[in-house]
Amino acid sequence: MSDLQNLLQFDGETQALAQVSGRLGWDQETMMASGSAEQRGIEIAALEGVIHARRRNPQVGDWLSNIKPGTADEMIKAQIREIKRSFDRAAKVPGDLAQLIARTTSTAQGKWAAARADNDFPAFVPVLEEVLNLKQQEGQALAENADVYDTMLTDYEPGATAKKLSTMFGALRPGLVELRGRILEKDPAVKLRGPFDETTQMKISTLLAETYGYDLTRGRIDKAVHPFSSGSGQDVRITTRTDLHDPFNCFYSTIHEVGHGSYEQNIDQKYTLTAIGQGASMGVHESQSRIYENQLGRSRAFTTWLFNQMKQQFGDFGISNADDFYKTVNSVSKGFIRTEADEVQYNLHVLLRFDLERALVSGDLKVKDLESAWNDRFYDDFGYNVQSASDGCLQDVHWSVGLFGYFPTYSLGNVYAGCLHERLRKKLPQLDNDLREGNLTPATDWLRENLQRHGALKLPSQTISDACGFEPSEAPLLKYLQTKFSEIYDL
């Protein structure tokens, strides 16, 4: 075989092993017995050692060097680009460090869960210090003369820098703080009247997944404490959660994860188990989950359909008409939890984390001081005090598993979703009529054709700008939020 053929075959096997590793993580969150965590950490570390060794195998570097530039088509060029990026990264990180990170973060996840359950941040401090130290070592190995935090961002959003994101988020934050302040002066929306049977919630959850085009012959829906999606190609799994008194938690968690899952399912099948056979970045990924959940799922038109589905399944649940239901779905109220936040306040949660984790990585903020720094920033943006660590700096799993640089992609995804929604409305003038009937096909087909099918063929910024027809900015998102919530709350 040629060097190119050898390279692509070798990488395909590495991609397959990475999928197996992801399946172990999925099992840990959904099915694994609680007493199995230590052994699972060893298993994941061992597999990560194999995968890391393959990614930094000198033979990969030789194959890359021997391939003549300009001889491949767009698909092959993109694969070579991504393989080289992965090789260059892996070659800089010592194998024993990669394994230690995998093992430490696997067990740290359980320690975080225990600290969160006990509302005990001091108990988690040594764990987070260890994870942060390892990730700083990795970042320093990768950065060479570059910014350490920027190297962390690159793992999730190639091409992004803290400087660019700070400018974008700096333009976003004042408008969000001002809008939430005006809204919270108004009367709250109508409340749901439960309880809501959890089996029925899962029934509607499955209906929503299918309505959005999620293929259950190549996926499944399970429950997890923190909903997530996993896998690509022919095996893409999602999770959701139920709450007896808040079915929206289940429904919109499902729609959100369906956005992620459908993206992976809709990537061109010829890219499966290749370096471009997954989403272009976490920001682009989040754009799909957020436009599915918010601009489509929380629209006045679609909530009319959902209102009728809930009436059929639950009978009288305290809301008498579709207009009140729409306002309830989009209600803005005080709260502490990012994953439960409304559209107006969600990004304020993310921007808080973005600034704090940059300070942690740089050493400007010590882990032991994280809780007080979090609480101070939360009060500045939200106007009230955090009551407990589980509602504050212990609420998210991300830092315990080493995902520094991940949080900003949530807000970047919202910015991208705002841009895509503006374009989608122009291309589909009958969109509301379709959504009112529960017909998501025109919208999801447009997203599949213009964005999802390409996977990582193009760089993230190019993926978005090609789909939107313009360079992304925060302006469409702010305009959408101000227009929508000014109408709902009569501002």
Catalytic positions: 257
Q: How far is CA 296 from CA 78, 195, 301, 425, in A?
A: 31, 26, 8, 11
Q: How far is CA 409 from CA 207, 296, 348, 482, 484, in A?
A: 29, 20, 13, 22, 23
Nearest to 330 by CA among 212, 183, 185, 211: 183
What letters, b where the CB count within 10 A reaches 16 and e where it falls short, cover 189-210?
bbebeeebebeebbebbebbbe
Answer whether 430's CB lies under 8 Å from 441's CB.
no
Point out which residues pair with 231 in neighbouring strands: 236
Beta strands 229-232; 221-223: pairing state: unpaired
The rounded distance, in Å, linking the Cα atoms of 353 and 149 is 13
The rounded distance, in Å, linking the Cα atoms of 340 and 47 is 34
Q: How many helices (H) and strands (E) does the chain have?
A: 20, 3
Nearest to 232 by CA among 218, 245, 243: 218
Q: Which DSSP state fits 383?
A: S
The rounded distance, in Å, linking the Cα atoms of 42 and 63 is 32
Whose tokens are 């698909």? That residue is: 75
**Mutual angle of helices 300-314 and 247-266, in 10-degree steps:** 120
Sequence-distant (6+) residues with CB within 8 A of 481 are: 175, 176, 179, 343, 344
Point out which residues pair with 237 in neighbouring strands: 230
Q: Which helix (H) or strand (E) holds 382?
A: helix 370-382
**Strands across the sheet with 235-240, in order?**
221-223, 235-240, 229-232
The rounded distance, in Å, linking the Cα atoms of 40 and 28 is 8
Answer whether 336's CB lies under 8 Å from 387's CB.
yes
Pseudo-torsion of CA 25, 117, 330, 447, nearest 10°?
Answer: -10
